[in-house]
Amino acid sequence: MNSQLKIKICGLTRRVDISAVLDLGADYCGMIVYPKSPRAVTRDQAWDLCQRIPAGMRVMVDVNTGTDELEDWADCGFDHFQIHCDIDVNLATLAAWSGIVGKERLWLAPKIPPGEPFPQTLLEFSNTILIDAYHKDKYGGTGQTGNWQQFADWATMYSHKRFILAGGLTPDNVAEAVRTSGAETIDVNSGVESAPGIKDPAKLKALFEILRG
């Protein structure tokens, strides 16, 4: 596999799992603050977990974050801010998010229905785009795989931006996913769990052995 591949493990809720993924060589640790997620952490939990992660690796994950909320989370120790949003999110909201945390730290994860073109407007406000599997009623975290070839096409078309592949990645399919998509950064969550928010040590080890050799 690509030795330069960046790996984000998301949905972290426990200190023990933070230690495990750091020991294995994860590049980013994601914590979900969206209250409707089964992996949601509170502000106090997020603060505690952030203290155990090196600077530059801490990623907040939320859905359609309010501007006041984003300012609050920005003070919690996070380095990057992954916001899942609708494809038609308004420009004022995008500008507000980008203004609060900056284009370099804002990771936009648009909910793009199959067959829809890539929403190019997003590129003005963020340098990182995360492509997750589409689900009509959910924002990520579905365990479903996405269209890896579509990801490759968009990443090539907009190569001046960084694209992150997410959606249903597991030790069983991650090698094929990386080869097909050409992804240089991946986001793994439910595929290395024993239960929502509880990481499985064996699955984590298998994933990193496949990707890191």
- Overall average pLDDT of the 66-70 stretch: 93
Is 86 within a domain?
Answer: yes
Split into its structural domains, the chain has a count of 1
Q: Tell me phi and psi for residue 116, to 5 degrees.
A: -85, 145
Give yes or no for a contact between 74 and 50, defined as CB atoms under 8 angstroms apart: no
Give me the pLDDT at residue 126, please. Answer: 98
- Overall average pLDDT of the 20-34 stretch: 98
**Whole-prediction pTM:** 0.95
The candidate with the shortest Cα–Cα distance to 146, out of 170, 118, 165, 120, is 165
The total number of residues written for the chain in this structure:
213
CATH number at residue 35: 3.20.20.70
Q: Residue 133: helix, strand or coil by DSSP?
A: coil
Give me the pLDDT at residue 136, please. Answer: 64
Alpha-carbon separation of residue 3 from 111, 172, 178, 208, 211 (angstroms): 29, 19, 12, 11, 8
Is 66 within a domain?
Answer: yes
Give yes or no for a contact between 68 and 57, defined as CB atoms under 8 angstroms apart: no
Q: Tell me phi and psi for residue 54, to 5 degrees.
A: -60, 150
Residue span of the structural domain in which 122 resides: 6-212
Give me the pLDDT at residue 3, please. Answer: 64
Give me the pLDDT at residue 134, please. Answer: 64
Of 52-56, 62-66, 138-142, 164-168, least confident by mean pLDDT is 138-142
Give me the pLDDT at residue 213, please. Answer: 77
Model pLDDT for residues 113-172, shown as the tens digit of each residue: 888 999 999 999 999 999 998 666 556 656 678 899 999 999 999 999 999 999 999 999
- Overall average pLDDT of the 25-33 stretch: 98
Give me the pLDDT at residue 133, please. Answer: 84
Question: What is the C-alpha to C-alpha distance for residues 184 and 190, in angstroms, rounded to an integer?
Answer: 20
Segments in the chain forming alpha helices (H): 15-24, 43-50, 67-74, 91-101, 148-157, 174-181, 201-212
CA 54 to chain centre: 17
Is 88 within a domain?
Answer: yes
Is 1 within a domain?
Answer: no
- Angle at CA of residue 44, ends 75 and 202, nearest 5°: 105
- Overall average pLDDT of the 184-196 stretch: 97
